[in-house]
Structure 1
Amino acid sequence: MTEPTQAPRAVLADDERLMREQLRSRIQEVWPELQIVGEAKNGLEAVALTRELKPDLVFLDIRMPGLTGVEAARQIAQLPDDDEWLVPEIVFITAYDEYAVEAFEQGVCDYVLKPAERERLALTVQRIQKRLAARQGDGEAHSGEANPSLGTLQQLLHRLQAGPQGSAPRYLQWIQASVGQTIQMVAVQDILFFISDEKYTRVQTAQFEALIRKPIKELVDELDPELFWQIHRSTLVNVKAIAGISRDFRGRQLVGVKGLDEKLEVSRSYTHLFKGM
């Protein structure tokens, strides 16, 4: 009598709790048999859970503290496999198109662009199911020989870690932000400005206000400097949203924002941006 095939198992890693919940819910819709056996909120936890739980599949957010998704994937790819377990399939969760395209073209891992759409996730699930089925049916994969895709995966991860070469830098296109009790994906081009306090960064669009935990010092490196200018240690403004520059009674420069009454203070370190304006 043939033994029933064990349901595949997965670890899910994303530093945003609500994003993990959203992705887990979408995965359960398109792949109800998949068991989410562990969740990690950073890259270090993702590696530790993979080592401990030995899943068939790991979903890794590209941007995580401790270790990035790429760094975590490199460590996971180096974990020793045995007669009972192979290094898991990798699916990147990302808002960065350059990672996604590269991973897709190599075919040794897959990707889900944020926000996770049901149709795109279903396609990823089909690909992963085929690869897992092929691995189960491959007797050589359990004979102690090296995983044939491992070398290719390591090469891909090395290139992702180094970043695209010979091309213009790629910048953040989407922000995942808390709006009330929900998570929304906000197009960067629609954001008027970012302002940070001690704990959160306010994301302001023409329609609504949202919050993220990412500080300004990180956003500066991830946003196109030709689109967003830093005008204060706690403020980034969309150049296209600037309505004009004025001064208050103390002589401070203030940036007016299109469609809003709010004024953004310019610190002395950044007044040179507006010379001649």
Structure 2
Amino acid sequence: MTASLPTALIAEDEALLAENLRQELAKLWPELQIVAQAAHGLAAVEAALAHKPTICFLDIRMPGMTGLEAAAAMAEDWPEGAPFPKLVFVTAYDQYALQAFEHAAVDYVLKPVQPERLAQTVARLKASLAPQQGDDALQAAVQQLRGLLGATPVAAAAQPLRLLQVSVGASILMVPVDEVVFFEAADKYVRVIVENGKEHLVRISLRELLPQLDQSRFWQIHRSIVVRSDAIQRAVRDEAGKLSLHLHGSKERLGVSRMYAHLFKAL
């Protein structure tokens, strides 16, 4: 039985750099099929889930979602049993980032891409494409990404946010952050659920809000959800191994993604 040809996704917001990478890969690895190109992080996630490429070349700095965030989003939504892509990050020179990549054993290439360095990456990728169980590859990628996310912590504010200013008609409502049960990203807004069951929308991204919260009290459990830890009653694992959170005094059930499931381990 003939093995299928390797495929790749290129995620790069600068069209000239994306085309240069595609051309260099064509020279170094003619058998590699570029099945999709994406100009921003969300498009990269959607394309990866649709095409399930063998390899993803991800620009670290892209609009809306970084390459690292895009990789984490892929890992959250990747179907069980499907082989997870090999990840190669494309980055400008940044000593801190390069140390993090090397520590996590994740491959990277620097911009502008040099053929000699890309050739080394191609050789490593070819050597690593031996058959591997899909779930094993996915778990290995999740561990690598957790390490990278941990190596780039959210820069916390000097003083955690205490009050949210929420527009209600012509008024501004002051909502104590201590009364918030969870936050959920909703397009360009964040959905705010408070203890009395009421819901508010604030015009801010979850990425902008997260550094303003007390990280010891508010836990990220999914790329789009942050929950107040003492609002959690219990974590329940279903037959497929997926975790969901039951909250005190609420019928809401919050799903925990693969990237954050390690937060819930019995002592």
Normalising by structure 2, report the TM-score: 0.54
Stretches of structure 2 that go unaligned for 5 or more consecutive residues are 156-267
Match of 1:90 in 2: 87
Report SS of the residue matched to 1:78: helix
Query: Per the alignment, do residues 14 and 4 of structure 1 end up closer, same or farther by CA in structure 2, a change over 3 Å counting?
Result: same
Match of 1:258 in 2: none
Q: Does the 8 A contact of 1:79 with 1:87 survive in 2?
A: no
Q: Does the 8 A contact of 1:70 with 1:160 survive in 2?
A: no
Match of 2:264 in 1: none
Match of 1:157 in 2: 148
How far does residue 20 in structure 1 lie from its aligned partner after superposition? 0.4
Aligned identity (percent) is 40
Match of 2:108 in 1: 111
Tell me the amino acid that sits aligned with residue 155 of structure 1.
R
Match of 2:36 in 1: 38
- What CA deviation, in whole Å up to 9, does each residue of 1:140-179 have, x standing for no partner? x15x567341342232231354279xxxxxxxxxxxxxxx
How far does residue 31 in structure 1 lie from its aligned partner after superposition? 1.1
Match of 1:62 in 2: 60
Is 1:130 paired with 2:127?
yes
Q: Does the 8 A contact of 1:96 with 1:113 survive in 2?
A: yes
Report SS of the residue matched to 2:129: helix
Q: Does the 8 A contact of 1:100 with 1:110 survive in 2?
A: no
Tell me the amino acid that sits aligned with residue 88 of structure 2.
V
Q: Does the 8 A contact of 2:8 with 2:54 survive in 1?
A: yes
Stretches of structure 1 that go unaligned for 5 or more consecutive residues are 165-277
Q: Does the 8 A contact of 1:60 with 1:90 survive in 2?
A: yes
Larger Rg: 1
Match of 2:8 among 10, 26, 30: 10
* Matches for 1:1-277 after TM superposition, within 5 Å: 3-83=1-81, 85-97=82-94, 98-107=96-105, 109-133=106-130, 136=131, 138=132, 141-142=133-134, 147-162=138-153
How far does residue 25 in structure 1 lie from its aligned partner after superposition? 0.7
Distance 2:5 2:93 in 1: 31
Normalising by structure 1, report the TM-score: 0.52
Distance 1:58 1:151 in 2: 15
Q: Does the 8 A contact of 2:67 with 2:89 survive in 1?
A: yes
Q: Does the 8 A contact of 1:44 with 1:66 survive in 2?
A: yes
- What CA deviation, in whole Å up to 9, does each residue of 1:91-111 have, x standing for no partner? 00000332223212321x210
Q: Does the 8 A contact of 2:92 with 2:111 survive in 1?
A: yes
Distance 2:154 2:32 in 1: 32
Count of equivalent residues: 155
Query: Per the alignment, do residues 37 and 145 of structure 1 end up closer, same or farther by CA in structure 2, a change over 3 Å counting?
Result: closer
Larger mean Cα displacement after TM superposition, 154-163 or 93-102: 154-163
RMSD, aligned α-carbons: 2.2
How far does residue 57 in structure 1 lie from its aligned partner after superposition? 0.6
